[in-house]
């Protein structure tokens, strides 16, 4: 073995780097090089990921190793239960280097700052040179985003997105946006028509390899969150392609109309169900956008649907990744609204009378799938966590735990930025705080809820309403000068001082009654 490895390159492929054209595999010599893939406890437990997320990653890694081996590549694959497994990526890199005289290690930029730090430290002490390559699977490199951000006072997705449209030529008509407008969001806010239900969706039947990974996770991570029974995520490029093709063919045409709509017991609506696959590398984001554009050009889907869908990937996904790498590690500490409460238990158990929250968190269906669509994450659980004043660390831990597509580089700018304004306005120009009226407008939740969505105060009134004005009052000093909040603050000012104090007290009672008490560590230390 040692002789065979003389001068060979050791190439690391992480669990979310499962792409045939990964930069780190570009000049792979199948007769000589070794690809290292390792299932490790450190990655599987740095948060208590949903069981489906771990099973998805292990199953997809195993399938990718088989795929490489079929090309004649030598893969050193370390299973999670291998007795000599060191438990960390860096430990496995060192152990692989001990196998023989490699000439160098090739890494591809990793997604999360935490692991990037560990890999940089490894590079500093490794016995051979370590080359780290740019992750070209993103449409905008970290450097390009940094240059775009450099001379701007504010970072706004909309302007970044326009630049990405020009760069890629997606939905362009010469120098102009297709149809004359960059953004068709205003047409994408319909509430689900009564009687209309979303179409059945293609779920992926677990292969024997996936079933084995599911069994391993059930055995080795019994105390992690979530169920494995309804696992239906694609684990190979072919399975992911089938889900994408079905979406483009049957679902995309109505994506725009119902993009922001929610309905009880309907987790999928008209969404793509592709985030797990793009984040793992089973689908290429630019290719997905080009394919969606082709559907429009062929006249099979309207512009509002296709532009809305492409904006999520070319705009939001790339923007969030750019912001993350521009701002970490400091971004991980942001808490601009000084949120100081614990996350109420019902975020885990789903035991709440709030029909909207119960559906998003824990109706057996959504929880069973480790999925919620965007507007549920943003306007139900995110909006509530912000108005309750839940500490951003607890919010992040929850989002990282419950969703199969969660990675810090995309989760954190969405939670600290878009959903809770903990970043103080890097991602969004104002907090997305909303009362029950918004949820009532966009869903069918309120009809069956114990709370009255029209009620303003008292135990029977919708908690979102009871929290809304108090949230603004509590954050008056921080938010009053935000131009986009001028109107609600004018209304609040019109209430007069004593009514404002009442609203603040009502919100505080609501926070406590929902279990958003002060964090223990913030409580005054005993004398
Ligand atoms: P679709 O609605 O069909 O959208 C298509 C694709 O666009 C998605 O697959 C995704 O790749 C991309 N996209 C859409 N919205 C966003 C966004 N805001 N940021 C980045 N990409 C986006 N997405 C993750 O991939 N991982 C996360 O951990 C994650 N955490 C989130 C937390 C909060 C608080 C919020 C508000 C959003 C979060 N999102 C996250 C974004 C979004 O909710 C999911 O990408 C989407 O719900 C995935 O389902 P889909 O593939 O059906 O998406
Ligand atoms: C998320 C995850 C999990 C659960 N397990 C592994 C693993 O065992 N081995 C691995 O290489 N990657 C895993 N991952 C993905 C990594 O956490 C991910 O590559 C980093 O967080 C960077 O995005
Ligand atoms: Fe949610 Fe309030 Fe509507 Fe109940 S009344 S479903 S709590 S928005």
Q: How far does residue 12's CA lie from ligand 2's centre (Å)?
A: 12
**DSSP-assigned beta bridge partners for residue 10:** 34, 105
Q: How remote is the CA of residue 238 from the centroid of ligand 3, in Å?
A: 40
pLDDT at 188: 77
CB 503 within 8 A of CB 495: yes
Give 367-429 as a DSSP string: HHHT---HHIIIIIIIHHHHHHTB-HHHHHHHHHHH-TT--HHHHHIIIIIIIT-TTSSSS-S
Nearest CA to ligand 2 atom 22: 111
Ligand minimally distant from the alpha carbon of residue 435: 3
Q: Among residues 441, 447, 439, which one has the least CA distance to residue 468?
A: 439
Q: Are 147 and 122 in contact, with CB atoms under 8 Å apart?
A: no
Please list the residues that pair with 518 across neighbouring strands.
341
* Residue 151: burial class (beta carbons within 10 Å; 0-12, 13-18, 19+): exposed
Nearest by Cα to 225 from 387, 343, 98 = 343
Closest ligand to C-alpha of residue 59 is 2
- Ligand 1 site-directed mutation target among 232, 414, 416, most atoms within 8 Å of CB: 414
Residue located nearest, by CA, to atom 8 of ligand 3: 436
Work out whether the CA dihedral 468, 515, 455, 448 comes out positive or negative: positive
405/370 Cα distance (integer angstroms): 8
Position 522 scores a pLDDT of 46
Mutate which of 48, 54, 57, 281 for ligand 2? The one with the most ligand atoms within 8 Å of its CB, which is 57
Instruction: Tell me which of 440, 444, 466, 467 to substitute to probe ligand 3's pocket, judged by most ligand atoms within 8 Å of the beta carbon.
Output: 440
- Tracing tokens 């580089």 back to the chain, one arrives at 409
Q: Of the residues 383, 441, 446, which should be mutated to test ligand 3's pocket, given the most ligand atoms within 8 Å of the CB?
A: 446
Q: Which ligand 3 atom sits closest to the C-alpha of 464?
A: 2
pLDDT of residue 526: 41
DSSP β-ladder status, 172-173 and 176-177: antiparallel
3-class SS of residue 461: strand
Residues 150, 152, 154, 155, Cα dihedral to 10°: -60
- pLDDT at position 527 is 39
For β-strands 74-78 and 104-108, DSSP reports them as: unpaired
Q: What is the pLDDT of residue 173?
A: 97
For residue 14, the ligand closest to its alpha carbon is 2
pLDDT tens, per residue, the chain with 527 residues: 545 778 899 999 999 999 999 999 999 999 999 999 999 999 999 999 999 999 999 999 999 999 999 999 999 999 999 999 999 999 999 999 999 899 999 999 999 999 999 999 999 999 999 999 999 999 999 999 999 999 899 999 999 999 999 999 999 999 999 999 999 988 877 878 888 899 999 999 999 999 999 999 999 999 999 999 999 999 999 999 999 999 999 999 999 999 999 999 999 999 999 999 999 999 999 999 999 999 999 999 999 999 999 999 999 999 999 999 999 999 999 999 999 999 999 999 999 999 999 999 875 455 689 999 999 999 999 999 999 999 999 999 999 999 999 999 999 999 999 999 999 999 999 999 999 999 999 999 999 999 999 999 999 999 999 999 999 999 999 999 999 999 999 999 999 999 999 999 999 999 999 999 999 754 444 43
Residue 117, φ and ψ in degrees, nearest 5: -60, -45
Residue with CA closest to ligand 3 atom 6: 446
Q: How far is CA 306 from CA 49, 102, 286, in A?
A: 32, 48, 14
Distance set, CA 506 to CA 45, 341, 397, 446, 458 (Å): 39, 16, 28, 21, 8
Please tell me the distance between residue 388's alpha carbon and the centre of ligand 3 in angstroms: 15
Residue 145 in tokens: 């985003």
Whole-Å CA distances, 410 to 45, 112, 292, 413 = 18, 9, 22, 6
Q: Which atom of ligand 3 is nearest to the CA of 445?
A: 6
Would you state the pLDDT for residue 187? 83
What's the confidence (pLDDT) of residue 192? Answer: 80
Going from the Cα of 275 to the center of ligand 1, the distance in angstroms, rounded, reads 6
Helices within 175-302 (DSSP H only): 208-220, 237-246, 252-255, 275-280, 285-297
Give residues (CB < 6 A) around ligand 1: 271-275, 278-279, 312-313, 316-317, 320, 373-374, 377-378, 382, 399, 403, 405-407, 410-411, 414-415, 418-419
Residue 363's pLDDT is: 59
Place of tokens 């000012």: 493
CB neighbour list of residue 2: distance below 8 Å, 6 or more residues apart: 99, 100, 101
Residue nearest to atom 48 of ligand 1 (CA): 275
- Distant-in-sequence, close-in-space partners of 464: CB < 8 Å, separation ≥ 6: 383, 384, 387, 434, 435, 436, 439
Is 453 near ligand 3, meaning CB less than 6 Å away? Answer: yes
């Amino acid at each position: 073995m040692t002789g065979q490895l003389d001068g060979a390159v050791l190439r690391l492929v992480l669990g979310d780097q499962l792409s045939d054209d990964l930069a780190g595999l570009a000049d792979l010599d199948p007769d000589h090089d070794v690809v290292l893939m390792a299932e490790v406890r450190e990655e599987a437990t740095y948060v208590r990921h949903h069981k489906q997320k771990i099973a998805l990653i292990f199953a997809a890694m195993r399938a990718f190793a088989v795929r490489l081996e079929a090309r004649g590549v030598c893969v050193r694959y370390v299973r999670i239960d291998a007795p000599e497994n060191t438990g960390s990526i860096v430990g496995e890199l060192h152990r692989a280097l001990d196998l023989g005289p490699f000439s160098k290690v090739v890494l591809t930029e990793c997604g999360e700052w935490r692991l990037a730090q560990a890999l940089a430290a490894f590079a500093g002490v490794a016995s051979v040179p370590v080359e780290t390559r740019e992750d070209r699977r993103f449409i905008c490199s970290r450097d390009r985003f940094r240059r775009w951000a450099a001379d701007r006072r504010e970072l706004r997705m909309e302007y970044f997105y326009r630049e990405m449209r020009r760069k890629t030529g997606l939905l362009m008509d010469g120098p102009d946006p297709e149809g004359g407008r960059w953004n068709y969001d205003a047409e994408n806010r319909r509430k689900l028509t009564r009687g209309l239900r979303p179409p059945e969706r293609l779920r992926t039947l677990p292969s024997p390899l996936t079933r084995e990974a599911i069994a391993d996770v059930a055995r080795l991570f019994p105390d992690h969150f979530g169920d494995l029974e309804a696992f239906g995520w694609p684990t190979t490029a072919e399975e992911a392609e089938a889900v994408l093709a079905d979406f483009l063919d049957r679902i995309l045409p109505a994506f725009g109309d119902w993009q922001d709509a929610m309905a009880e017991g309907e987790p999928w609506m008209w969404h793509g169900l592709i985030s797990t696959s793009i984040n793992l590398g089973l689908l290429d984001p630019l290719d997905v956008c080009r394919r969606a554009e082709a559907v429009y050009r062929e006249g099979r889907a309207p512009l509002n649907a296709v532009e809305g869908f492409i904006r999520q990937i070319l705009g939001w996904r790339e923007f969030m990744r750019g912001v993350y790498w521009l701002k970490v590690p400091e971004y991980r500490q942001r808490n601009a609204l000084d949120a100081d409460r614990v996350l109420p238990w019902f975020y885990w158990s789903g035991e709440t009378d709030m029909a909207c929250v119960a559906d998003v968190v824990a109706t057996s269906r959504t929880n069973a799938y480790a999925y919620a669509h965007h507007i549920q994450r943003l306007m139900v659980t995110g909006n509530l966590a912000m108005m309750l004043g839940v500490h951003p660390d607890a919010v992040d831990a929850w989002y990282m735990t419950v969703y199969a597509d969660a990675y810090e580089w995309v989760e954190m700018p969405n939670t600290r930025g878009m959903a809770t304004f903990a970043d103080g306005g890097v991602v969004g120009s104002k907090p997305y705080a909303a009362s029950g009226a918004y949820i009532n407008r966009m869903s069918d939740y309120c009809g069956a809820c114990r709370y009255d969505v029209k009620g303003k105060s008292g135990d029977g009134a919708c908690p979102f309403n009871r929290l809304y004005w108090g949230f603004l009052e509590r954050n008056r000093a921080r938010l009053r000068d935000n131009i986009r909040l001028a109107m609600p603050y004018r209304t609040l000012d019109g209430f007069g001082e004593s009514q404002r104090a009442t609203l603040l007290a009502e919100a505080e009672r609501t926070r406590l009654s929902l279990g958003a008490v002060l964090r223990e560590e913030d409580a005054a230390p005993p004398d």
